[in-house]
């Protein structure tokens, strides 16, 4: 554990938050025009045009990465007024324009909260706005208070305040590996002075390394009641949620070859939803937002150049388009040689 924490600290030092825009403005403009409404709502178009704390968090982060202070203010205004209304200071996760009231599930989604806090910190540093930084710090404290599950030397990040704990489910606690936004964890640790965040980081990395030893790509939901295993009632798949795991590892500079190996193996024939036990593809994916993830893994491993058609961004649907931009920003920052 000590060794691991040391590695994390080193990685943290190595990756200072972007002070300069790393996302090409024209790509962000295309994204903004398609998914960001004038009132600051970021729309998940394929998901019934709802919004959620995750889409708002990604919108904020991308706006910060693109240096778009105006859009950031717009998206934050919506996020704060419509979602940041919980008693515990976290964001309600689901907002449906067709429902009254709009918030249709007051539960939080911890990755959404974490993305919002991380983006606020990004904006606070990028534009010297202490208000944003303070808000990021407060939100980070609220997340730690409400969602950290300390157990022995481990600290798990619970996916939500309700619904996944030991008392909520027979196989609880249940976690979601893709909620570890690795790049944000050391930032939150430094922001709050709470090294619980580093323990969260270490716990997540240890889990991924255990999975890698078993040559298993991360499933969407895992029971950590005993030895980690795919949670009951969810498909044991390396699916839409989990495909962010290798991206987050790469963005955080934690993409060691061994850790990424199961993901590369699962995607040997291109991006797909993969059964984590049989390793069989359940569904092949073709959106450039997914294909660039595979290309980024190849770049990180072998220096393989990113195909031209993936370098230019054309918005498709909210989720793959988001992954596309996050990957492009990561590549331009860390892997210029593949571009």
Annotated catalytic residues are 54, 111
DSSP characters over 182-211: TTHHHHHHHHHT-THHHHHHHHHHHHHHHH
> With binding defined as CB under 8 A, does residue 96 bind another protein?
no
Q: Closest by alpha carbon to 61, among 88, 79, 48, 47?
A: 79
Of these, 7, 129, 298, 317, which contacts another protein (CB under 8 A)?
A: 129
Instruction: Kindly state whether residue 127 participates in binding another protein, applying the rule CB under 8 A.
Output: yes
Binding to another protein in span 74-93, by CB under 8 A:
74-78, 80-82, 84-89, 92
Rule CB under 8 A: choose which of 131, 163, 258, 303 binds another protein. Answer: 131
Question: For another protein, which is the closer residue by CB, 92 or 285?
Answer: 92
Binders of another protein among residues 31 to 70 (CB under 8 A) are 38-40, 69-70
Q: Which two tokens stand for residue 237?
A: 């798949």
Residue number with CB closer to another protein (82 or 171): 82
Asked if 193 interacts with another protein (CB under 8 A), we say no
In whole angstroms, the minimum distance from the beta carbon of 74 to another protein comes to 4
Taking residue 104's Cβ as centre, other Cβ atoms within 10 Å add up to: 14
> Strand runs (DSSP E) across 32-140, as ranges?
51-52, 94-95, 103-105
- Nearer CB in complex with another protein: 76/276: 76
The C-alpha atoms of residue 320 and residue 103 are separated, in whole angstroms, by 24
Which letter does DSSP use for residue 222 in this model?
E
Q: Of the listed pieces 135-143, 167-175, 187-195, 285-293, which binds another protein according to CB under 8 A?
A: 135-143
Q: Cα dist. 196→88, 143, 220 in Å?
A: 19, 11, 24
What are the contacts of 34-39 at 24+ separation with CB within 8 A? 34/315, 34/321, 35/59, 35/315, 35/318, 35/321, 36/71, 36/74, 36/75, 38/74, 39/74, 39/77, 39/78
Q: Which stretch binds another protein (CB under 8 A): 130-138, 212-220, 267-275, 304-312?
A: 130-138
279 binds another protein (CB under 8 A): no
Neighbours of 153 (CB within 10 A): 10
d(CA 10, CA 261): 22
**Given the rule CB under 8 A, which of 27-35, 127-135, 168-176, 331-339 is the region that contacts another protein?**
127-135
Q: Provide the Cα torsion 156, 159, 160, 163; round to 10°.
A: -100
Q: Does 135 bind another protein (CB under 8 A)?
A: yes
Q: How far is the CB of 92 from another protein (least distance, A)?
A: 6
Number of separate helices (H) and strands (E) present in the chain: 13, 11
What track of x and - describes contact with another protein for positions 137 through 156 (by CB under 8 A)?
-xx--x--x-----------
For residue 189, the minimal CB distance to another protein (Å) is 20
Task: Rank residues 64 and 174 by Cβ distance to another protein and give the closer one.
Answer: 64
- Catalog residues that contact another protein under the rule CB under 8 A: 38-40, 69-78, 80-82, 84-89, 92, 101-103, 106, 120, 127-132, 134-135, 138-139, 142, 145
């Amino acid at each position: 554990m000590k060794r691991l924490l040391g590695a994390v600290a080193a990685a943290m030092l190595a990756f200072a938050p972007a002070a300069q825009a790393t996302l090409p403005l024209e790509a962000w403009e295309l994204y903004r025009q398609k998914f960001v409404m004038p009132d600051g709502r970021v729309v998940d178009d394929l998901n019934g045009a709802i919004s959620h704390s995750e889409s708002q968090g990604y919108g904020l982060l991308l706006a910060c990465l693109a240096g778009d202070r105006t859009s950031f203010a717009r998206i934050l205004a919506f996020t704060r007024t419509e979602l940041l209304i919980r008693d515990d200071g976290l964001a309600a996760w689901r907002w449906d324009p067709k429902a009254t009231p709009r918030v249709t599930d007051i539960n939080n989604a911890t990755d959404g909260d974490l993305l919002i806090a991380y983006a606020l910190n990004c904006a606070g540093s990028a534009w010297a706005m202490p208000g944003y930084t303070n808000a990021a710090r407060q939100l980070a404290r609220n997340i730690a208070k409400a969602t950290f599950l300390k157990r022995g030397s481990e600290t798990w990040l619970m996916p939500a305040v309700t619904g996944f704990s030991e008392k909520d489910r027979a196989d609880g606690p249940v976690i979601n590996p893709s909620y570890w936004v690795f790049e944000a964890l050391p930032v939150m640790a430094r922001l709050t002075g709470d090294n619980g965040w580093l323990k969260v980081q270490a716990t997540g990395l240890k889990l991924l390394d255990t999975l890698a030893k078993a040559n298993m790509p991360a499933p969407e939901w895992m029971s950590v009641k005993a030895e980690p295993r795919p949670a009951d009632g969810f498909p044991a798949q390396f699916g839409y949620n989990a495909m962010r795991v290798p991206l987050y590892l790469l963005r955080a500079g934690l993409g060691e070859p061994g850790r990424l190996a199961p993901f590369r193996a699962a995607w040997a024939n291109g991006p797909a939803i993969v059964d984590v036990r049989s390793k069989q593809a359940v569904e092949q994916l073709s959106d450039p937002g997914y294909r660039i993830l595979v290309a980024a893994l190849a770049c990180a491993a072998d220096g393989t150049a990113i195909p031209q058609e993936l370098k230019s961004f054309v918005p498709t649907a909210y989720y793959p388009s988001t992954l596309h931009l996050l990957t492009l920003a990561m590549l331009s920052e860390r892997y210029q040689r593949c571009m």
